[in-house]
Amino acid sequence: MNLKSLLGILGACVSGFLGGILAPHDHVEASSPSVLRASRFELVNGAGATVAYWEVDSKDNVRLRLLPRREGAAVDVGVFADGQPFLRMGGRDGKNRIALELDAADKPLLAMGDERWQGRVVLGFNGPDTPDAAWDNWGLRFHAPGSERTVAGIGTMRGSDGRSEGFLTVSGKRIR
């Protein structure tokens, strides 16, 4: 190394040292945000694979989805766009196995199914097609695959006189 290069390096070091001393020492700290906004958050494992996410979907439903290693299986917890909360557990085939929901009047419904039909067994409030505050039917209903028709059921319902009474149905026929 020649003398000219050595003097150049020494001059650069001295300039850097003097610049560090003479520079103003006002520290500016970044403020921590009080609100962090996004439409989706993802949780990833050590390998970078998504194992959960929290999002607002295209229908404005808000959900937290937990994804295990098995394909298709998931647990969803959230609130539909209309304000009704839900909890769903799906099997490896992606079909719901358990669904717990509240209806528009905050009455609960628990539905269970298998790979052939997601609504095989339904327990809870049995709401009418149109909202009715006087409706008070509750029960346990069993459905055949692909059918909304109750093939067996037991529960309570409000009779024509306004009193609660029990019901039992088998193959769509009410038993007294």
The pLDDT of residue 150 = 86
Where b means 16+ CB within 10 Å and e means fewer, 66-88 reads: ebeeeeebbebbbeeeeeeebeb
> For the CA atoms of the chain, what is the radius of gyration?
31
pLDDT by position in tens, the chain (length 176): 565 665 566 566 556 655 666 666 666 666 677 888 888 999 998 888 889 999 999 999 999 999 987 777 899 999 999 999 999 999 888 888 999 999 878 899 999 998 888 889 999 998 887 877 778 889 999 988 888 888 899 999 887 788 888 989 898 788 87
Residues 6+ apart with CB under 8 A from 107: 124, 125, 127
Ramachandran class of 105: left when φ > 0, alpha when ψ lies in -120 to 50, beta otherwise? alpha
Q: Are 62 and 77 in contact (CB under 8 A)?
A: no
